[in-house]
Chain A
Amino acid sequence: MLFGKNGRKDDLIVRGARVVDPGEGIDALLDVIVDQGVISRLESPDSSRLENAHRVVDGQGLVLAPAFVDPHVHLRTPGREDEETIASGTAAAAAGGYCAILAMPNTEPVVDSAVVLGSLAETAQAEAEVPVGFLAAITRNQGGAELTEMAELASAGAAAFTDDGQPVVAPGLMRRALQYSAVTGRRLSLHCEEPTLSRSGQMHEGGVSAELGFAGYPSVAESLMVERDLALAAYEGQPLHLLHLSARESVEALSRAQVARVAATGEVTPHHLCLTDEAVRSLDPNVKMNPPLRTEEDRQALIAGLRDGTIGAVATDHAPHARHEKEVPFEAAPFGVTGLETAFSALYTHLVEPGLLKLETLLERMSAGPARVYGLDAPSVAVGAPANLVLLDLKASRRVAESDFRSRSANSWLLGETVKGQVRLTVAAGRVAFES
C-alpha cells in the first residue's frame, strides 16, 4: 500500500535524546540504536557501546519520537508537476518529519484507474524520499456519476477511496460506494460539502464575511453533509473517514456517531487548529482554503476533539499552488495552502506552547493516529520495529521563509512568522531521509 525507494537501510545511533512514544508508553532519556534500518536496541545513555559502522547523532536536549504520517497530501502529479512532484513532495515531507504520506487522487488525469495508479507507484519507487500511498477516486474522473473499479484499484494498491476536492453529491451514489467498499477492504474518505450551500463561497459565513463582502461558505454546508454521510455509514454498517473537518457542528456529529458505534474517524488540519476567519481580514490568498477558516468557537471545538480523540489525526491537506496563481486578488485565488514542512512547528507553537494540547497528544495524532485510520503500521520506538523516527528541537525557532521550502510551492500561511520546534532528523523506513 506504501510505495518508496527500496535499497539503502542505515545504521545509526541517536544518543541521549528524550524519547517520547505515547503508544509504547515511553518518555525517557535513551540511546536508540538502528541496525540495517531496524531499531535493534534501546539503552540508557552512555551505557551503549559505540559501534564503528554506526553514525552517531547527538540527541542531547532533543526529543526523539515516532515519525509523522500525513494522511492528506496533494502531490499534483500527474498534471501539475510545476507545483509538486513525487520527489519534491516527499522531500518536503521528510523535512517536516514525516515517514509516510498519503496522496489524494484529484490530479490531471484523476487517479481512477489501475493504470494511472500503477504509474504513480512506479515513480514513487524510483524517486520518493519517504514512502507514499495513493488514494483512488470514488467516482470516475471524480465526476460524481459512476463508481470507479474499486476492487481492481484496491488490488493495484489504492490506500483508500476519495473524491477529495469534491463531495459525492448524490446520496444514492454515496450509499452504493459505501456498500461496495466492503469488498475492497478500504475505507471511503469524504470531503463533506453541500454544494448548493457553499456555492461561490470564499470564506466562512459570519460577521467577518459580512463586513468584507465575501460570499459566505456556512458551517452548515459541511455539517449537513457530515450528518448525511454518517447516517449512511450507520445504515450500511461501513466505516468512513471525514476529511479536513472545520466546523464545531461536524465534530459534534462525529462524536455522536462514534458513541453510536459507527466506525467513523476524522482529521483536522494545522491551519484550522491555528487560525480563524479573522485571518482573512488580511486578504492574503494564503489563508484561502476549502473548507474555510471558521470562528474561534469552531477552532476550540476542533482542538477539544483532537485532545479527546474524537478527531484522531492531524492532516496537512498540503495543497501546493503555483506562485502566479496565488498572486492575484483573494477572490481569484485557488483554495489551499502548503503544510508538510510547517505542520509540527505550527502546532507546537500555536497549541503545545500555550498549553492547549500536550506534546504527547500532538505526537500521537500526527503519527499513530493517522496510521490507524488507514490501517498502516503505526511508527513506534520499539525493538524490532522499522526505524521511523523524527528528532525534534523544541527550543529552536526560525522565521518561515519562502527560500527554505523543499516543496515546489511556497503558498504557506506561515510565511514571515517565527515558529518554534524544528525537525533535525527524519528516518523513514530505515533510511535517513532528512537532516539539518
Chain B
Amino acid sequence: MAEIRVMREDLLPPKEPPRRHLISIGDLRREDVERLLGTARNFERSLERELKKLPTLRGKTVVNLFYESSTRTSSSFELAAKRLSADTMSIKSAGSSVDKGESLKDTALTLGAYDPDVIVIRHPQIGAPQLVARHTGAHIVNAGDGKHQHPTQALLDLYTISEELGRIEGLHVAIVGDVLHSRVARSNIQALTLMGARVTLVGPPPLIPRGVEAMGCEVSYEIDAIKAADVVYVLRMQQERMAEGANFVPSLREYTARWGVTPQRLRPGQKVMHPGPMNRGVEIDPVVADAADALIEQQVRSGLVVRMAVLYDLLTHGPAGVQAAALHEIGAA
C-alpha cells in the first residue's frame, strides 16, 4: 500500500543551481569540454556574419581584473564580452588601489559591491581566483593564477587542435620547454589527457617538475622526442620567473642549442603551437614560428570564440539537458 509523503523539501522553492566558476581544467569533465568547444564552434559561425554582435548577454557585467601584464588574454576576454553585448570593465593593478596596498580581499569586496556577473582574474599568486570567489557573488574565470592554471588557454588550444586536425583523441602532443614555471603546460596536460591525447614533456631536467608523471604524461630530456609528435607545443622561456642564480639552465644560449625548436628538429607536417608571447630565437626558431604549419595565429583567433563560449556557458548554465553543476563549485569558507 503506497503511502503519500510530502517531505519538507518538496514544499520549498527549487534551489538555485550552484554558482559555477572556471578555475582549473581539473574541475571539468570531458562532456563539459565538448560542450564548450561546440558552443565556440557556433560562435565562430556567427562571427562570419556581417553584424558580429550578439545580444545574448545584454545587461550582464563582466569585470576583467588583471594583476599581471597581458595583451592577448585581457583583450580577447574584453572583446568576447563585448561581442556578447555584456558591459565590461577592465581593472589593471597599476594605477588602481592595488598600488596603494589594498588587499585582494578588499578589492574583491569593492568590485563585488557592483554585483558583476563574471569576474575574470589574472593574478601572480596561486589561489587568488578562489579567494575572489569566496568574497564576491560573481562567477569567476581564472585567466591565469601564478604557475597553477590557465584554463581558457588550454581550451583554446584544444579548439585550435580539433579545428586543424579534426580530432584530439589519439593525437600525440609534445610540450617543450619550461614546464616548471608554466601554468599553460599544467592546464594543457590536464586538458589533453582528459580528451584522450598522449602528452610527452620535453625539456631540461631542472625545468620538468618532479613527480609530474602522476598527471598522466611522459617525460623526455631529449629534444629528438618531439619528432614522434603530431603537435609540438612550445612554451615560452619564462625568464622573468628565473630567480638570479637559480641555475635552472646554465645559459639561454645552451638552452637554445639543446632544446630550441628549429626546422631541423621537426618533421614535415608537424603542427607547431605557442601560447605567446614568443622569444624568437630562444625557444622557437623564427623560421618555425612563421611557417605554414605554425598555428600560433589560429590560437589567438580561437581565444575569442572560446572565451565567448566560457562566458556564455557560465551565465546561461549551459544548454538545456546538460547537467548544470559542471564547472567548479566553491563552498563558502
Chain A interface (Cβ < 8 Å from any Cβ of B):
199-200, 202, 205-216, 218, 283-285, 324, 327-332
Contacts and interface: CB of A to CB of B under 8 A. Distances in A.
Given A200-B243, A213-B186, A324-B103, A331 B127 contact: yes
A211 B209 CA distance: 9
B211 A329 contact: no
A205 B210 CA distance: 7
Nearest to A416: B333
Given A283-B130, A284-B333, A329-B131, A210 B214 contact: yes
B105 A213 contact: no
Given A205-B211, A285-B127, A327-B131, 13 more contacts: A202-B126, A206-B210, A206-B211, A207-B213, A208-B211, A210-B210, A212-B148, A216-B210, A283-B130, A327-B105, A329-B123, A330-B125, A331-B124
Contact of B148 (A199, A213, A284): A213
Interface in B109-130: 123-128, 130
Contacts of B325: none
A83 to B, nearest CB: 17
Contact of A331 (B146, B149, B243): B146
A207 B211 contact: yes
Contact of A210 (B126, B127, B211): B211
Given A329-B123, A332-B125, A210 B131 contact: no
Contacts of A327: 103, 105, 131
Interface in B169-218: 183, 186, 209-215
A416 to B, nearest CB: 8
29 contacts: A205-B210, A207-B214, A208-B211, A211-B26, A213-B147, A213-B149, A213-B186, A214-B148, A216-B209, A283-B126, A283-B127, A284-B333, A324-B103, A324-B105, A327-B103, A327-B105, A327-B131, A328-B103, A328-B104, A329-B123, A329-B127, A329-B128, A329-B131, A329-B145, A329-B146, A330-B125, A331-B125, A331-B126, A331-B146
Contacts of B123: 329
A205 to B, nearest CB: 6
A378 B148 CA distance: 48
B147 A214 contact: yes
A216 B209 CA distance: 9
Contacts of B211: 205-210
A329 B130 CA distance: 8
Q: Which 10 A-B pairs have the closest CB atoms?
A: A213-B147, A207-B214, A210-B209, A329-B125, A330-B127, A207-B211, A283-B127, A329-B127, A331-B125, A210-B212
Contacts of A210: 209-212, 214-215
Contact of B126 (A199, A218, A329): A329
B209 A209 contact: yes
Contacts of B124: 331
B245 to A, nearest CB: 10
A332 B124 CA distance: 10
A381 B269 CA distance: 81
A209 B148 CA distance: 9
A218 to B, nearest CB: 8
Interface string B124-168: 111110110000000000000111110000000000000000000
Nearest to B189: A211
Nearest to A288: B127
A79 to B, nearest CB: 21
Contacts of B126: 202, 212-214, 283, 329-331
B150 to A, nearest CB: 10
Nearest to A331: B125
A331 B123 CA distance: 11
B258 to A, nearest CB: 22
B242 to A, nearest CB: 12
Contacts of B105: 324, 327-328
Contacts of A202: 126
Given A205-B210, A328-B103, A213 B183 contact: yes
Contacts of B26: 211
Contacts of B145: 329
A116 to B, nearest CB: 31
Contacts of A328: 103-105, 125, 131
Contacts of B131: 327-329
Contacts of A213: 126, 146-149, 183, 186
Contact of A211 (B104, B127, B214): B214
A9 to B, nearest CB: 44
Nearest to A205: B210
Nearest to A333: B127
Contacts of A329: 104, 123, 125-128, 130-131, 145-146
Contacts of B149: 213
A200 B212 CA distance: 19
A285 B104 CA distance: 14
A388 B105 CA distance: 44
Contact of B215 (A199, A211, A216, A330): A211
A332 to B, nearest CB: 5
Contacts of A283: 126-127, 130
A199 B243 CA distance: 10
Nearest to B209: A210
Contacts of B125: 328-332
A331 B148 CA distance: 11
A207 B215 CA distance: 8
Interface string B297-326: 000000000000000000000000000000
Nearest to B333: A284
B241 to A, nearest CB: 10
A219 to B, nearest CB: 11
Interface centre among A207, A208, A209, A331 (most CB of B within 10 A): A331
A324 B104 CA distance: 10
Interface string B210-253: 11111100000000000000000000000000010000000000
Contacts of B213: 207
A211 B186 contact: yes
B322 to A, nearest CB: 26
A328 B130 CA distance: 10
Nearest to B246: A199
Contacts of A331: 124-127, 146
Contacts of A324: 103, 105
A32 to B, nearest CB: 42
Nearest to A212: B148
A10 to B, nearest CB: 41
Nearest to B148: A213
Nearest to A211: B215
